[in-house]
């Protein structure tokens, strides 16, 4: 099965822009979706498809993709954005796969 | 209001069995794929299994042959029968609702999670 690779940890100064990336062969055929998870809570989808946000997700969250890499960008990071972020896509075998997760620290 | 109410977790010895349930309401159950995703303590999300709207099933390699996913449209419920459990299966198990809009697939709703502990 495919794998999705994420940096384990990223930090950003309050109000600055941060990009979290996800690499994997499956991303050449499927869009990534991105999930925010705070301690003790279930994940929440923040971006999916080419660059779609569910209702209620702030527009500072955006997504992009190129080749085998998908990116989640947070423009003007807020303290409440500190969380773990996971990418996911379907893979060529028909199953699904998550990235290892990125811990975002807002300084 | 969408609700995914999970039950069935608990403590079991290696080699034992458990059945997880996820009762869904607030959306048209038959229109969505359903998934199980797990998370070990301090670890990342791990996709486990899925059942599509048409009944097709998928499993992660490590659970293939031991776990069986099923759905009951009349009861709007999802199940995961877990047999031959191993300590490595210890995790919080989430049920999740998948939107079958390939290639922009995503999990739109998540249950609260239920803890499965496999230990002697």
Which residue from B44, B104, B105 is facing A98, i.e. has the nearest CB?
Answer: B44
Long-range pairs for A46-51: beta carbons < 8 A, 24 or more residues apart: A46/A72, A46/A85, A47/A72, A48/B99, A48/B104, A48/B105, A48/B106, A49/B101, A49/B104, A49/B106, A50/B104
**Is B50 near chain A, with CB under 8 Å?**
yes
Half-sphere exposure of A3 (CA within 13 A, CB side): 3
Query: What confidence tens digit (pLDDT) does each residue in B22-36 have?
Result: 999 999 999 999 999
**Is A15 near chain B, with CB under 8 Å?**
no
* Chain-chain contact of A101 with B44 (C-beta, under 8 angstroms): yes
| Nearest C-alpha in B relative to A96 | B47
CA distance B119 to chain A (A): 22
Report the C-alpha gap between B34 and B109 in whole angstroms: 10
**Is B94 near chain A, with CB under 8 Å?**
yes
Report the C-alpha gap between B118 and A42 in whole angstroms: 22
Query: What confidence tens digit (pLDDT) does each residue in B3-25 have?
Result: 999 999 999 999 999 999 999 99
- Reading chain A (107 residues) residue by residue, the pLDDT tens digits are 579 999 999 999 999 999 999 999 999 999 999 999 999 999 999 999 999 999 999 999 999 999 999 999 999 999 999 999 999 999 888 899 999 999 999 99
* Chain-chain contact of A101 with B106 (C-beta, under 8 angstroms): no
């Amino acid at each position: 099965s495919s794998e999705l690779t994420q940096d384990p940890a990223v930090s950003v100064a309050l109000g600055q822009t941060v990009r979290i990336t996800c690499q994997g062969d499956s991303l050449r055929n499927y869009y990534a979706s991105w999930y925010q998870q705070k301690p003790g809570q279930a994940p929440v989808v923040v971006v999916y498809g080419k660059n779609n946000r569910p209702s209620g997700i702030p527009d500072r969250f955006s997504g992009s993709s190129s080749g085998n890499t998908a990116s989640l960008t947070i423009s003007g990071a807020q303290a409440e954005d500190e969380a773990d972020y996971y990418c996911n896509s379907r893979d060529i075998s028909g199953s699904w796969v998550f990235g290892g997760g990125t811990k975002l620290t807002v300084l | 209001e969408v609700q995914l109410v999970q039950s069935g977790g608990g403590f079991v010895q290696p080699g034992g069995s458990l059945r997880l349930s996820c009762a869904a309401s607030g959306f048209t159950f038959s229109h969505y794929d359903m998934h199980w995703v797990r998370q070990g303590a301090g670890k990342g999300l791990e996709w486990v299994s899925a059942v599509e709207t048409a009944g097709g099933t998928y499993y992660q390699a490590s659970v293939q042959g031991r776990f069986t996913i099923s759905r009951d449209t009349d009861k709007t419920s999802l199940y995961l029968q877990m047999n031959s459990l191993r300590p490595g299966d210890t995790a919080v198990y989430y049920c999740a609702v998948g939107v079958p809009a390939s290639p922009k697939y995503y999990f739109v709703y998540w249950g609260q999670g239920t803890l499965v502990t496999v230990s002697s």
